[in-house]
Amino acid sequence: MVDQARARRIAERIKQLVTQGLTQVVKDERVGFITITDVRVTGDLQHASVFYTVLGTPEDRETAAEILATYRGRLRSFVGKGLGIRLTPSVEFILDALPEDAQHMDELLREVAARDAELAAARARGDFAGEPDPYRKPRTEEDGDAPDAPDAR
C-alpha cells in the first residue's frame, strides 16, 4: 500500500534539496534563473520528476536543460544525502509549461475583453429594426386617416 502522505513529504523535501543543490552543487555561471515549481514522486519512491521553469529566452531554457542534464547525477547524490532514506530516487528534470499556458490564457482573456467591448459599443449605437414603438395604437385625427364616423342609422 502506498503512503501518500509520506510521498508528499518526500517530494517536498526533494524540492527543497534540489533548490539548495542548484546553488551549492552546480558551479556554472550560465545557470540563470531556474525555479523548481513542483516535484512528483512515484508511489514506491523510486523516481522523482522535478518540474522547473527558466526566466529568460528560449536559448536560456535550452542552456538550463543542458546544465541540469550534466549535473543530474551530482544533484541526485546531494538529494540522497539530504533525504536520509534507504534508496535514493532517480531524478528527471522536466521543463514546466505552466508559464506558457498562463500567457496563452492571458492572451485569450484579452481577446475576449476586446470582443466584449466591440459588442457593447455596437449595442450602444444600435437602433431598433422597426419603429421605435412597435405596438399598435388607435388612430387619431392627427394621423390624417381618421376613422369614418359611425353610421347613424
Please indicate, yes or no, whether residues 50 and 120 belong to a single structural domain of this protein.
no
Q: What is this structure's pTM?
A: 0.65
Domain that holds residue 74: 4-95
Q: Which three cell numbers stand for residue 133?
A: 414603438
Looking at the fold, whether 87 and 101 belong to one and the same domain comes out as no
Q: Which residues contact 33 (CB under 8 A, 6 or more apart)?
A: 54, 55, 56
Q: Of 59, 57, 13, whose CA–CA distance to 36 is shortest? A: 13
Is it the case that residue 17 has pLDDT exceeding 90?
yes
The pLDDT value given to residue 1: 54
Place of cell 535514493: 88
Read off the pLDDT of residues 25-46 as tens digits, 9 standing for 90 and up.
Answer: 888 777 778 888 999 999 888 9
148 falls within a domain: no
Q: Indicate whether 11 and 74 sit together in one domain.
A: yes
Q: Report pLDDT digits (tens) over 92-149.
A: 999 887 777 778 888 999 999 999 988 888 888 776 666 767 787 788 777 665 555 5
User: Tens digit of pLDDT for each residue in 19-29?
Assistant: 889 888 888 77
What pLDDT shows up at residue 148? 56
Residues 58 and 85 in one domain: yes
Establish how many alpha carbons lie within 13 A of residue 112's alpha carbon, considering only the half-sphere containing its beta carbon.
6
Residue 102, SS3 per DSSP? helix
